[in-house]
Amino acid sequence: MNNVFVIDNPLVKVDVTNLRNKATSEELFRNSVKRISYALAMEISRYFEVKEVEVDTPLEKTKGFELTHSIVLVPILRAGLGMMDAFLEIMPKARVGHIGLQRDEETLQPVDYYYKTPKQLDKAKVILLDPMLATGGSSSAAISYLKKSGAKDIYFACLIAAPEGTKKVTQDHPDIKLFTAVFDRELNDKGYIVPGLGDAGDRTFGTL
């Protein structure tokens, strides 16, 4: 599939196993999310652009590089927050927007409750963060909001993607790039990804 990328890395596979394991503590769950997020951040940063600058080493002048654009990270509340610190460590100058979306447990439709993003999204690489791509309702709606606010160059980082959500997001938004740590089999009749990891927000924040 064009514009869909899976992180192929043994350490990421080990951490995905930690996420899946129902016996994993909240501490290990959060640390595993963080380590996978570092890998996603590095992968997405391949698409960043730099220009040449001159730098003085202690010995002589030489060629260096600096980014030519800004970066905006946008976690979808709540579970996307678990990915944010790792992205901020890799991209320390990024600004941060927040999108509050909660899936209605009956209809599985996303209900929005908060939206605040930095200005000049049109000039930034905008990276949406949400660990779970299930039906795709939440992330597709979030991407539409970002586009309405001017975002033009959008990347979506998730941990587990279901086929249903991947299809929806790539059909609704063929222009964005989607990165995931793993693809799972399907959704169950409650809209949960299987085999999955359960409820990402609850497992991140201990609200099970």
Return residues touching ligand URA (CB under 6 A).
132, 134, 192-193, 196, 199-201
Beta carbons within 8 Å of 69's beta carbon, 6+ residues apart: 48, 49, 123, 124, 125
What are φ and ψ of residue 96, in 5° steps?
Answer: -130, 130
Annotation marks residue 199 as catalytic: yes
Residue 195, preceding peptide bond in cis (omega within 30° of 0): yes
Is 107 noted as a catalytic residue in this protein? yes
Q: Tokens representing 203?
A: 């497992």
Does residue 135 bind ligand PRP (CB under 6 A)?
yes
The verdict on 132 binding ligand PRP (CB under 6 A) reads: yes
Under the criterion CB under 6 A, does residue 137 sit at the interface with ligand PRP? yes
Instruction: Please tell me the distance from the alpha carbon of residue 54 to that of residue 23, in angstroms, as a whole number.
Output: 52
Q: Residue 43 or residue 184: which is nearer to ligand URA going by CB?
A: 184
CB-closest chain residue to ligand PRP: 201
Tokens read off for 19:
């996420």
The answer to whether residue 191 forms part of the interface with ligand PRP (CB under 6 A) is: yes
| Residues lying near ligand PRP in the complex (CB under 6 A) | 76, 78-79, 101-103, 108, 110, 130-139, 165, 191, 199-201
